[in-house]
C-alpha cells in the first residue's frame, strides 16, 4: 500500500470528524446550481443586482483567507473563479456555531468541493463576490492540490513537469486554467468541421474500430483476438476503405471523426492513438478538395482567433486562402538539388546516400522518395502549402494523374513543417486497385511491415462500381496543436499514452 503523507493523514482524520458530526462528506442529492462565476462577474452591477439576490454556485475551493469570525474563499466552477465572503453569523444564525467554528474553519480544506447559496455584492476593494448565506460540503478532497500562486495575473510556482501534467491531467486542469481552454478550443475545431460538412449535406457516420484487415494506410497495426469468433482482429489504422464502401452504397458525402491506432514510434507529433477526420465526396476530385480544405481551415482560424493569422511559437501562420501549391518533385529539387522524377530504385538509393539519409534495404521506391521528402523538404513549409502530384509508388489507393504519367492525384497539406492533411482523387478502378494491392504484398514479402494488406471485400465493393470520388484525412491532434499554439501532441490529448507508472 502507498504510504500516506502527513497532509493525507490529516485529511483522512478530518473526513472521520465530519462523519462523527453526522455530516456526509459525499452527499448524493442534487445541488441546485443556478449560476456561474463568470456570468455573475460579467453581468452584476447596481442596475442588475436584483437578478443576483438568490444565487447558488458549486465548485472547488482554491484559497481561504481566515479573518476570525469571517473568511474569504475563492471557488472555481466550470466557468472560472469567484470570491466568496463567509461570515459565521450568516451561515450559523442560531446559537450553535459548529457549522462555522468547527466544520468550515477546521475541517474544510483547499481542494474540497462546496456549494454556496447567497447573493452577489461588490466589496470595498471593488471585487464582485458572493455573500454566502449557506455552505454545503459536496466532496472532501483527500489529497492536497499543488500550490500555485497568482498575483495580479502573474503565476508563480506553476506546475510544468510533463510527467505530472500528462499522467495527472485531472490535477493539471484544476490548477492551470489555460489548459482547459486548449481542450475547449479543440472541441470548437471539431464542431466547426462538423458544421462545415453538414452544411454541404454530408453525413457523419461510424465505421468499425476492430477490423479483420488493417487497411487504408501503410502502418504497423495493433493486433488482438476475438474469442467468440476465434480470429485475429486489428485496431484500425485508417477508416478509409469502409467510408469508400459507403460511397459505393449510394451516399454522396460521408465523414467520420475516428480514433486510429498505429503501433509505431512516439514523439512530439506522434501518439499511437490519435484522432483523424476523414471525409469522402462523390463526383469530386483533388482540385475541388484543395479549395474546400483551404476554405475550411480559414474558417476554423477565424472561428478561434477572429483572424486568419495564428501565432505558433515565434511565427505567425496565415490560413488565408488560397494556399501555395508545389509538386513533390519540385519540392525535392528545390531543397536537395536533385531531379528524381525519372529515377529508378537504385538511383534513389544513391541519392539517399549522397544526402546522408539512412534507409532500410527493405524500402521500395515509394518509401525512398518519402524519406527524401521527409528529411530534406517537409520542415521548410511553415505557411500552409499543398504538396501535390505524388509518385504512384507512394499512393496505392490514389487515382493515376490524368495528364502526368507515373504520378497520382494526391496532395498533402503542410503547415509549420508538418503534414496535417492527406487527400486524393480516389482510385475507383477495381483492376488497377487489385494490381496496386499486389505490389504492396511484394513489399511485405521483402520485409516491409508497414506495407498494405489486400482487402478482398473492398475490391469486391469496387467491382460493383464506385463513382469518381475525392477523400481527405485531417489530423485533428496536429491541427489543434497549430490552432492553439501547443508544441507537443501530448498537450492537446487529455490522456496521452505513457509508460506504466511505478507504484
Beta-strand runs (E) in 394-468: 407-415, 418-425
Taken as a whole, the chain contains a residue count of 503
Helix (H, G, I), strand (E, B) or coil at 391: strand
Tell me if 75 sits within 8 A of 62, measured CB to CB.
yes
334 is in an annotated binding site: no
- Residue 265, judged by CB atoms within 10 A of its CB (0-12, 13-18, 19+), counts as exposed
Tally of CB atoms within 10 A around 123: 12
Distance CA 141, CA 60 (A): 9
Tell me if 248 sits within 8 A of 270, measured CB to CB.
no
Helix (H, G, I), strand (E, B) or coil at 125: coil
Residue whose C-alpha is closest to residue 470's, from 408, 418, 419: 408
Q: Please give the distance of CA 64 from its chain centroid, rounded to a whole number.
A: 35
Query: Grid coordinates standing for 225?
Result: 483476438
Distance CA 348, CA 372 (A): 9
240 is in an annotated binding site: no
Distance CA 122, CA 48 (A): 12
Distance CA 134, CA 201 (A): 52
Distance CA 480, CA 483 (A): 5
Query: Grid coordinates standing for 165?
Result: 501534467
Distance CA 144, CA 7 (A): 7
Report CA-CA distances (Å) from 121 to 44, 68, 70, 135.
8, 21, 16, 17
Distance CA 33, CA 374 (A): 53
Query: Grid coordinates standing for 447?
Result: 520485409
Contacts 24+ apart (CB under 8 A), 358-363: 362/443, 362/446, 362/447, 362/448, 363/448
User: b/e for 292-308, b at 16 or more Cβ within 10 A?
Assistant: bbbebbbbbbebbeeeb
- Residues that constitute the known binding site: 412, 419
- Residues that constitute the known binding site for Mg(2+): 412, 419
Amino acid at each position: 500500500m502507498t504510504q500516506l503523507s502527513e497532509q493525507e493523514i490529516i485529511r483522512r482524520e478530518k473526513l472521520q470528524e465530519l462523519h462523527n458530526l453526522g455530516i456526509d462528506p459525499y452527499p448524493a442529492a442534487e445541488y441546485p446550481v443556478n449560476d456561474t462565476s463568470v456570468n455573475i462577474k460579467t453581468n452584476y452591477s447596481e442596475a442588475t443586482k436584483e437578478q443576483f439576490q438568490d444565487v447558488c454556485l458549486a465548485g472547488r475551493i482554491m484559497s481561504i483567507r481566515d479573518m476570525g469570525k469571517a473568511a474569504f474563499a475563492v471557488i472555481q466552477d466550470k466557468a472560472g473563479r469567484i470570491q466568496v465572503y463567509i461570515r459565521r453569523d450568516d451561515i450559523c444564525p442560531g446559537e450553535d456555531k459548529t457549522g462555522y467554528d468547527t466544520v468550515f474553519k477546521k475541517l474544510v480544506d483547499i481542494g474540497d468541493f462546496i456549494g454556496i447559496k447567497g447573493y452577489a455584492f461588490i466589496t470595498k476593494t471593488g471585487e464582485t463576490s458572493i455573500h454566502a448565506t449557506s455552505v454545503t460540503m459536496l466532496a472532501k478532497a483527500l489529497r492536497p492540490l499543488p500550490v500555485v500562486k497568482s498575483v495580479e495575473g502573474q503565476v508563480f510556482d506553476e506546475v510544468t513537469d510533463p510527467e505530472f501534467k500528462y499522467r495527472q491531467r485531472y490535477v493539471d486542469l484544476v490548477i492551470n486554467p489555460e489548459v482547459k481552454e486548449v481542450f475547449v478550443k479543440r472541441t470548437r475545431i471539431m464542431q466547426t468541421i462538423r458544421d462545415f460538412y453538414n452544411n454541404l449535406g454530408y453525413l457523419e457516420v461510424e465505421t468499425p474500430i476492430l477490423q479483420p484487415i488493417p487497411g487504408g494506410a501503410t502502418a504497423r497495426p495493433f493486433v488482438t483476438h476475438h474469442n467468440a469468433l476465434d480470429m485475429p482482429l486489428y485496431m484500425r489504422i485508417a477508416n478509409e476503405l469502409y467510408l469508400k464502401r459507403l460511397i459505393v452504397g449510394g451516399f454522396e458525402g460521408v465523414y467520420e471523426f475516428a480514433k486510429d491506432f498505429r503501433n509505431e514510434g512516439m514523439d512530439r507529433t506522434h501518439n499511437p492513438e490519435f484522432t483523424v477526420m476523414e471525409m469522402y465526396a462523390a463526383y469530386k476530385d483533388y482540385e475541388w478538395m484543395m479549395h474546400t480544405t483551404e476554405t475550411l481551415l480559414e474558417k476554423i482560424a477565424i472561428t478561434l482567433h477572429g483572424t486568419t493569422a495564428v501565432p505558433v511559437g515565434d511565427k505567425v501562420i496565415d490560413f488565408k486562402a488560397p494556399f501555395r501549391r508545389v509538386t513533390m518533385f519540385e519540392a525535392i529539387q528545390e531543397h536537395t538539388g536533385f531531379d528524381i522524377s525519372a529515377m529508378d530504385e537504385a538511383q534513389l538509393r544513391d541519392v539517399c546516400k549522397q544526402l546522408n539519409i539512412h534507409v532500410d534495404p527493405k524500402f521500395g521506391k515509394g518509401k525512398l522518395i518519402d524519406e527524401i521528402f521527409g528529411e530534406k523538404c517537409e520542415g521548410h513549409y511553415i505557411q500552409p502549402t499543398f504538396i501535390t502530384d505524388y509518385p504512384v509508388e507512394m499512393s496505392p489507393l490514389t487515382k493515376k494523374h490524368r495528364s502526368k504519367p507515373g504520378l497520382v492525384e494526391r496532395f498533402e497539406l503542410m503547415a509549420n513543417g508538418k503534414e496535417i492533411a492527406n487527400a486524393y482523387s480516389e482510385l475507383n478502378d477495381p483492376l488497377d486497385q487489385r494490381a496496386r494491392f499486389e505490389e504492396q504484398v511484394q513489399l511485405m514479402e521483402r520485409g516491409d511491415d508497414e506495407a498494405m494488406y489486400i482487402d478482398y471485400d473492398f475490391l469486391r465493393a469496387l467491382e460493383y462500381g464506385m463513382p469518381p470520388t475525392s477523400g481527405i484525412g485531417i489530423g485533428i491532434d496536429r491541427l489543434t496543436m497549430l490552432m492553439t499554439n501547443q508544441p507537443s501532441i501530448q498537450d492537446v490529448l487529455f490522456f496521452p499514452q505513457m509508460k506504466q507508472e511505478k507504484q
